[in-house]
Amino acid sequence: MKTLKGPAIFLAQFAGDDAPFDSLDHIGRWAGSLGYKGVQMPSWDKRLFDLEKAATSKDYCDEVKGTLAQYGVELTELSTHLQGQLVAVHPAYDEMFDGFAAPEVRGNPKARQQWAVKQLLLAIKASENLGIGDHVTFSGALAWPFVYPWPQRPAGLIDTAFDELAKRWLPILNAADASGVNICYEIHPGEDLFDGATFEMFLDRVKGHARCNILYDPSHFVLQQLDYLDFIDIYADRIKMFHVKDAEFNPTGRQGVYSGYQGWAGRAGRFRSLGDGQVDFGAIFSKLAALDFDGWAVLEWECALKHPEDGAREGAEFIKNHIIRVTEKAFDDFAGAGADEATNRRLLGLG
């Protein structure tokens, strides 16, 4: 068995213009001071990280790692959530997602998609230069507006959407394979890959590509009322990354999974800081330890109530206390009598 690495923290929700969140040096010092051993990097935020430089300069990559190392922190993985979203955008979401793209391609869906693909390829090369084997992103979505079958979906509509999604991602997955990098899709509502069934539909279409993998985040499954522990057992071979994020689901006579268009604080299903929600992290960490998962346990802070700095401070200790240092011996070794093949045969009555 293997011991998970951590605690680590995803920096996307913390980066800002004010110290200590305004530069790699400052935020690295802050993360290290809280007890984090790793940071997961949003590749789009140039206040912290220059993606193009990382894709073209190993010296820059060494500089990034050195800056973090002085605070006892590693760079765990890169994230392209925003760019991955733009690989596939249904026209209904064009205007809302335009802000994720570079200004020069906004208002031009074709150019925006091409830009997004180039960003993914840069992130793959940057991961290779950094010596990082896993990378997290979103799949994007063409079929999401049709998630509820009313009116009845035309026959073949979802097949066409997933065929196109796979067509767009396959060259990216092949590039990732050439660089020795796993693409880990965060299974997430709003994406075409939002549960196990949709991941399998996509995986079939990319012919079981070895680099098509999963970032596991149980909070999104609580909000869908999906069995997040069974998910681990089903997809153990594909889970390469882990976001430690809590959530709760408290349905009432007024709202359930869809939550009546309410804001986050008023929803039946909402994200919470670690320990404040309903996720059974003891069971999750136990399952991952038993399955030899040796990736990073990464806090993603999203909470409708608690201040992010409090969530980050408490989250480091929470993850540290849940990581299981796996045993190197069986608990009943003291009672072992020793054996050999001859003894085993005698005990079985085989002479």
Task: Identify the pLDDT of residue 320.
Answer: 98
**pLDDT value for 319:** 98
pLDDT at residue 340, as a whole number = 87
User: pTM for the complete prediction?
Assistant: 0.95
Residue in the structure block whose two tokens are 């399998």: 200
Q: Please give the single-letter amino acid code of residue 3.
A: T
CATH of domain 5-347: 3.20.20.150
Query: How far apart, in whole angstroms, are the C-alpha atoms of residue 63 and residue 252?
Result: 52
- Rounded Cα–Cα distance for residues 351 and 346 (Å): 5
Cα-Cα-Cα-Cα dihedral sign, residues 49, 51, 53, 57: positive
* CB-facing half-sphere around the CA of 239: CA atoms within 13 A: 27
Closest CA to 63 of 51, 76, 72, 54: 54
The pLDDT value given to residue 236: 98
pLDDT score for 346: 87
SS3 at position 21? coil
At residue 347, the pLDDT reads: 87
Residues of the chain under the 70 pLDDT cut:
none
